[in-house]
Amino acid sequence: MQHLKNLRFVMQKSGRLAEGTIALLQKCGYGVKINKRQLLLQEKSGIDFLFTRDDDIPGFLAKNICDLGVFGENLLTEYSLTHKDDAHNLQVIMPLGFSKCRLSIAAPETHTYPTAQTLQNKIIATSYPQTLAHFLKQNNVTAEIVTMHGSVELAPKIGIADLICDLVSSGVTLKENGLVEVMKIADSQAVLVANKTALHTEKHSLIENMLLRINGVLDAKQNKYIMLHVQKDKIEAVKKILPSREAPTILELQGIPNKVAIHTVSPEEIFWETIEKLKEIGASSILVLPIEKMMA
């Protein structure tokens, strides 16, 4: 039973989370790719990648079947409210910044329900009944909840419900179905979640190694590498304009004694405004480069 010692990473087989998860893992150097038929991939690095429906991922983690996994915060909330005992075994490691959406209440275009209280006694269709019930309870509202497992946007049209509570990203689906978003319940994005028990087993070093890589990739996304030339007496001014992770590297320029090259890693987005400020103090040859991988 050699494979039991492997780290088990579970992810969505296909859908809105799959692409982002695969891209992240590939950047981390793991040989995973989209293959709808292969449901288990044993990687030489000691990691088994399992591909499944997103709905099964929280349960696989909570019940010690898998060690790490990716799914949406929306599902985490619903699972935590539905399976209170098992959910204790889930630990959110970090948000991943993709598959962003929001869970919102939407109404037919002809109606507006601007406050939570105006939902009173309405019928609301959703795939997230526990999250919606929790929201209604918090707002002291009584409404009937109809659970649907898909095509929720259809409910008002066919007379099943007055309103819907569903995930929205671009808003196109709502529009195409004659609905308007009237109230946001929660924001969501993909999160990396661990099985808490696994963090304390012999697998923890494999987990730590993987987290180090994922952190490195996510960190590099925000950081930029900046190079520029400037007069020596303007080094302090550059430091003030450019936030840097550590002290910048200062290099002599051959044949130009009064100038230096500055190389620095900025943890923040570099805007045109920043570049204009650098120009104002006489900086030249300014280059802003993305960083592919970084280990601080």
Of the candidate residues 7, 21, 51, 54, the single one contacting ligand PRT (CB under 6 A): 54
Tell me if 166 contacts Zn ion by CB under 5 A. no
Of the candidate residues 54, 67, 73, 166, the single one contacting Zn ion (CB under 5 A): 54
Stretch that binds ligand PRT, among 154-162, 165-173, 215-223, 224-232 (CB under 6 A): 165-173
**Tokens for 44?**
């030489």
Tell me if 69 contacts ligand PRT by CB under 6 A. no
The one of Zn ion, ligand PRT, none whose footprint includes residue 170, by CB under 5 to 8 A per kind, is: ligand PRT
CB of 193 to ligand PRT, least distance (A): 12
Stretch that binds ligand PRT, among 51-59, 85-93, 244-252, 265-273 (CB under 6 A): 51-59
Tell me if 130 contacts ligand PRT by CB under 6 A. no
Amino acid at 12: Q
Going by C-beta distance under 8 Å and a sequence separation of 6 or more, which residues neighbour residue 97? 189, 190, 218, 221
Of the candidate residues 62, 96, 105, 168, the single one contacting ligand PRT (CB under 6 A): 168
* DSSP character string of 128-142: -HHHHHHHHHHTT--
Q: Please, what's the largest Cα pairwise distance for the chain? A: 79
For 20-57, letters b (16+ CB in 10 Å) and e give bbbebbebbebebeeeeeeeebebeeebbbbbbebebb
Binding mask 91-110 for ligand PRT (x = CB under 6 A): --------x-x---------
* 3 state SS of 102: strand
Bridge partners (DSSP) of residue 7 are 47
Query: Residue number with the shortest CB distance to ligand PRT?
Result: 72
Tell me if 188 contacts ligand PRT by CB under 6 A. yes
Tokens 């190694």 belong to which residue? Answer: 209
Going by C-beta distance under 8 Å and a sequence separation of 6 or more, which residues neighbour residue 8? 47, 48, 50, 65, 66, 67, 68
CB of 235 to ligand PRT, least distance (A): 45
Under 8 Å between Cβ of 103 and 204: no
Tell me if 153 contacts Zn ion by CB under 5 A. no
Tell me if 55 contacts Zn ion by CB under 5 A. yes
Stretch that binds ligand PRT, among 72-80, 88-96, 155-163, 205-213 (CB under 6 A): 72-80
**Tokens for 159?**
């007379």
The one of Zn ion, ligand PRT, none whose footprint includes residue 171, by CB under 5 to 8 A per kind, is: ligand PRT
Which residues sit at the interface with ligand PRT, rule CB under 6 A? Answer: 12, 15-17, 53-55, 72, 74-75, 99, 101, 166-173, 188
